[in-house]
Homo-oligomer: A and B are copies of this chain.
Amino acid sequence: MKITAFAGGVGGAKLAHGLAQHLSPEELTIIVNTGDDFEHLGLTICPDLDTVCYTLAGLANPETGWGRVNETWNTISNIEKLGGPNWFRLGDQDFATHLERTRRLKEGKKLSEITREFCNAWGIQHAILPMSDSAVRTIVDTDEGELPFQEYFVHRHCEPRVKGFRFDGVNSAEPVIGALEAIESSDAVIFCPSNPWVSIDPILSIPQMRQVLENKKIVAVSPIIGGKTVKGPAAKMYSELGIEPSAFAVAEHYRNVLTGFVLDTTDANLEMNVQNLTIKTLLTDTLMNNLTDRARLANDVLNFVRSN
């Protein structure tokens, strides 16, 4: 069975990692959101891409889910002493990724090419593709005006009230080379449990992406459990946009593309509502606290895809 997974940050990376335990490199392609990439300290930083790569390489910090394990913080703390910007916490090992990526981008290499080179260096077998090689930047419209995503997310701790989103550059962005082919040849596309608004929607907003998804088997795993997000601001965003945050709200969000939906057993009461959207459902334990959980959830999702 061939699968293409769409992923954002921590939650998405965990399921992608689980899928990689069951599927060979030929069977799995992971397409990652680059909408929250940004330029900081002169470096091009790709938080979701790095989280997915670090997670698959076994280099991720198991406590935070992002950044590197056994990390040190000597560079950022010295930037801080010099009075430089310290709101985006970058570790010393992590800095290497951004420095070297930025250097290669300036040499004229494509982000996808650099990502492939990094994956080789980190011993990652599965294909991890940035959604596009052209820059797409998520802009959050808030009650304080428009904010670049990381400004909203990290610098302002998601405090401004959300009014909407736009993905700067998405209309002229092409899917990364290999993405359309991977999706076309896949038996199903899985939306990992990532933020619908700012992790999966940017990928779906790339013009050619929607077309290739038509008539595909598409299964999403809810990032919302019991009305709350495991991590990140998805639930808060739903509330501020006037929608009650729930797994059902996620299914409804994707209703035009979805064929199947995976909810946590906690949300059994919402299953029928999702089915009423003519979306098939799987009820299972979706919380991923450890490596075993990731592999188990991935297995459940793959069985659900197979049987539907």
Listed in ascending order, the chain A residues whose CB lies under 8 Å from chain B are 41-43, 71-72, 74-79, 81-85, 91-93, 95-97, 99-100, 102-103, 106, 117-118, 121-122
- A111 vs chain B, min Cβ distance (A): 14
Known pairs A42-B102, A42-B106; A96 contacts B117 (CB<8 A): no
- A187 vs chain B, min Cβ distance (A): 34
CB-based contact B74/A117 at 8 Å = no
CA distance in complex: A83, B92 (Å): 17
Known pairs A117-B83, A121-B83; A78 contacts B96 (CB<8 A): yes
CB-based contact B99/A42 at 8 Å = yes
The residue from B75, B83, B99, B121 contacting A41, defined by CB atoms under 8 A apart: B99
Nearest neighbor of A100 in chain B, beta-carbon distance: B84
- A128 vs chain B, min Cβ distance (A): 15
Nearest neighbor of A76 in chain B, beta-carbon distance: B96
The residue from B75, B84, B96 contacting A82, defined by CB atoms under 8 A apart: B96
List, sorted by A's number, 5 A–B pairs whose CB atoms are closer than 8 Å.
A41-B103, A72-B74, A78-B96, A81-B96, A92-B92
CA distance in complex: A76, B92 (Å): 9
- A118 vs chain B, min Cβ distance (A): 6
CB-based contact A95/B95 at 8 Å = yes
Q: Which residues of B contact A106 (CB under 8 A)?
A: 42
Extra inter-chain contacts (20) besides given A42-B43, A92-B92, CB under 8 Å: A41-B100, A72-B72, A72-B74, A74-B74, A74-B93, A75-B93, A75-B96, A75-B99, A78-B92, A78-B96, A78-B97, A79-B100, A82-B97, A82-B118, A83-B117, A83-B121, A84-B96, A84-B99, A92-B95, A95-B95
